[in-house]
Structure 1
Amino acid sequence: MKEATGRKAFRMSFMMLLLVLLAGAMIISLVFGSADITLSKIWHTLWASQLQDTQDMVIWNIRLPRNIVASLVGASLAVSGAILQAVMKNPLADPQIVGVSSGAGLAGVIILILFPGYDYLVPGFAFFGAMAAALMVYALAWKNGVRPSRIILAGVAVAAFLGSGISALLVFYGDRVQGALLWMVGGLAARSWPQVYVLFPYTAVGLFLAFLGARRLTILSLGDETAKGLGLPVEQTRFMMTAVAALLAAGAVSIAGLIGFVGLVVPHIVRLLIGNDYAYLLPSSALLGAIVLVVSDTVGRVMLSPIEIPVGIIMAFFGAPFFLYLLRRD
């Protein structure tokens, strides 16, 4: 009893620490950039009734909404990865590796290149693309059950197939690819309040449904036979939570482009620290995912300032070695 109480207290303390770190990361991101801004100026701007100078405009219309977008994207991708790892019973699953992001990416590129005047449709089409990719991977990997190795192989194959579709569009419509290319690399440049308003409903609904299904994911992670023995409708749960993961990934991809490794790295770090109880793993992954993306975006902005490195490149640089480490360990 004491051990369980102590474990719960530790997990709650860990989540509070992540919340403090997220606030700190966002403050640092507001301070540093092509022009550094003082903390007192930031405080004054956030509570001012109107914007008075250029620095106020930079804080309120550029850095603050960009931080919020980074937080929402990071939380969405991290929770999506955690869900897919439970649903697919594979510790190496994440939205990009198993093809979910590629599905959303292809749907988004189709809209951006073929129907550029309807870019407001990207989130909805990205969701259907992500869901279709997830179902395709699951169907290809199914053979008297799902094995981790088959999930990875099917995910790589689906991602390659969908990636070839993206490449074909870029080749055939070379005069329209500039916006799509920047979107594919994965970045947060020029993201402001309109993107916050578009992304927030997807993230809010997705996280709510994910947290609602946390107990089912914990049971599902014990294995299909155990889950069935505990009365869990395994296939129904797998389908519903895959849809939630696709919703979260699609919302993030539609706004920030193809950012990889957040959904792979973050849940693993959280799992190593607080265990496999999804009631704590999911909210902790959301907070850490937000921290990782805010910090990565800040690094990309200040490392070679005034040149900006897209956050997708920063994440690939640090995420790829971690993926290889997991691959070797397993």
Structure 2
Amino acid sequence: MNTKNRKKVIILVMLLIIFIISIFLSVGLGAIKVSPKEIIRALIDKNGTVNYRIIWNIRLPRTIISVLVGISLSLSGTIIQGVMQNSLASPSIIGVSSGAGFAALTILILFPEYYNLVPLGAFVGAFVVTMLIYGLAWKDGLVPNRLILAGVAVNSLLGAGNNALLTFFPDRVSGVINFMVGSLNGVTWANVHSILPYVIVGIVIALTLSDKLNILVLGDEVATGLGVNVEKIRFIFIILSSVLAGSAVSVVGLLGFVGLIAPHISRLIIGSDYRFLFPTAILLGAIIVLLCDLISRVLFAPMEIPVGIIMSVLGAPFFLYLLRSKEAKQ
């Protein structure tokens, strides 16, 4: 292993340590504090104590969902930025999450009896919007500025659709408020089981095809010359990003900016080699959501702020910083 790759492995190990610490903080802190020793004891000694019930029924599923959602959105953002060759692209900014959200919200408000179809609807919404934006941004190749503008326009249109649903069905608004702002409040083991398969498949496919994406970002002509079926690989990645974004939205709602922040910071600290970029984004995305959820629970405890609000407060300035940096380089 050369020196450059050794440094990347060290960075990954450090992120893994931070990730483990973040998990213990997420499970241990809240309205009731539980020490790491008590966490381990409660998980081992299943005797129905108060700490055991708090950890197993509330804190643990919430922590696992935070990890899975962070992985889903950060991986989706990393893939979208690679396929669309734009570091400002993310599921929330270009409308992919909004597409998933609009489809899921339509089911929740108009067809609540079909709640079990929300994950499928979210995936279909994310996929349709991804393909639409990709088509709008294409003109003899992807045009970065057109990509962002198309995403903003589609995002606004879907936002109007969401607002129309809330306006015409005000009696059903209270049940979807948490979904609209992005919240981890009330998640259960059932939510863990619903999102876990998508995340596992997403991680496996992303890591397996990381070399292909390394070639794809070199440009279509170069990738074709190196024997890569460009359209096939691009389509697989678009499907994958849609599945990941849709699965996350179906569980926590419209949680923004994770897919922008995690990939960009990962690229700054690890480089653009997707063999290392994907694992870094996975760990960093999970850490970001874990810590933001922790802040949402302890900042004004016992009152809880939806994690989507915390993410927006952090993410919006970060996006403006990226936008300024990108303009300064042009």
Whether contact under 8 Å (1:89, 1:147) holds in the other structure is no
Q: 1:240 aligns with which of 236, 239, 250?
A: 236
Whether contact under 8 Å (2:93, 2:151) holds in the other structure is yes
Whether contact under 8 Å (1:89, 1:221) holds in the other structure is yes
| Residue correspondence of structure 1 range 208-227 to structure 2 within 5 A | 208-227=204-223
**Other structure's SS at 1:308 match:** coil
Mapped to 2, the partners of 1:155 and 1:328 lie a distance apart of 18
Q: 1:322 aligns with which of 318, 323, 329?
A: 318
The Cα shift of 1:45 comes to 0.9
| Residue correspondence of structure 1 range 17-96 to structure 2 within 5 A | 17-48=14-45, 50-96=46-92
Task: Output the aligned Cα RMSD.
Answer: 1.1
Whether contact under 8 Å (2:90, 2:260) holds in the other structure is yes
The Cα shift of 1:159 comes to 1.0
Mapped to 1, the partners of 2:9 and 2:239 lie a distance apart of 28
- 2:3 is matched with 6
Q: 1:310 aligns with which of 277, 291, 306?
A: 306
- 1:16 is matched with 13
Whether contact under 8 Å (2:181, 2:255) holds in the other structure is yes
Q: Which range moves more in the overlay, 57-66 or 218-227?
A: 218-227
- 2:133 is matched with 137
Q: 2:179 aligns with which of 177, 183, 205?
A: 183
The Cα shift of 1:226 comes to 2.2
**Other structure's SS at 2:123 match:** helix
Mapped to 2, the partners of 1:170 and 1:260 lie a distance apart of 20
Whether contact under 8 Å (1:82, 1:263) holds in the other structure is yes
Q: Could you state the TM-score of these two structures normalised by the residue count of structure 1?
A: 0.96
Matched, 1:116 2:112: yes
Mapped to 1, the partners of 2:291 and 2:85 lie a distance apart of 30
Mapped to 1, the partners of 2:115 and 2:44 lie a distance apart of 33
How many positions carry a matched residue from both structures? 326
**Other structure's SS at 2:4 match:** helix
Q: Which amino acid aligns with 1:87?
A: V
Give ranges in structure 2 of 5+ residues lacking alignment. Answer: none
**Other structure's SS at 2:305 match:** coil
Mapped to 2, the partners of 1:13 and 1:38 lie a distance apart of 28
Whether contact under 8 Å (1:111, 1:118) holds in the other structure is yes
Whether contact under 8 Å (1:21, 1:291) holds in the other structure is yes
Q: Which amino acid aligns with 2:207?
A: F
The Cα shift of 1:139 comes to 0.9
Whether contact under 8 Å (1:99, 1:158) holds in the other structure is yes
**Other structure's SS at 1:289 match:** helix
- 2:100 is matched with 104
The Cα shift of 1:39 comes to 2.2
Q: Which amino acid aligns with 2:159?
A: G
Whether contact under 8 Å (2:42, 2:49) holds in the other structure is no
Question: Percent of aligned pairs with the same residue?
Answer: 48
Q: Which range moves more in the overlay, 293-302 or 5-14?
A: 5-14
The Cα shift of 1:167 comes to 1.1
Give ranges in structure 1 of 5+ residues lacking alignment. Answer: none
Matched, 1:292 2:282: no
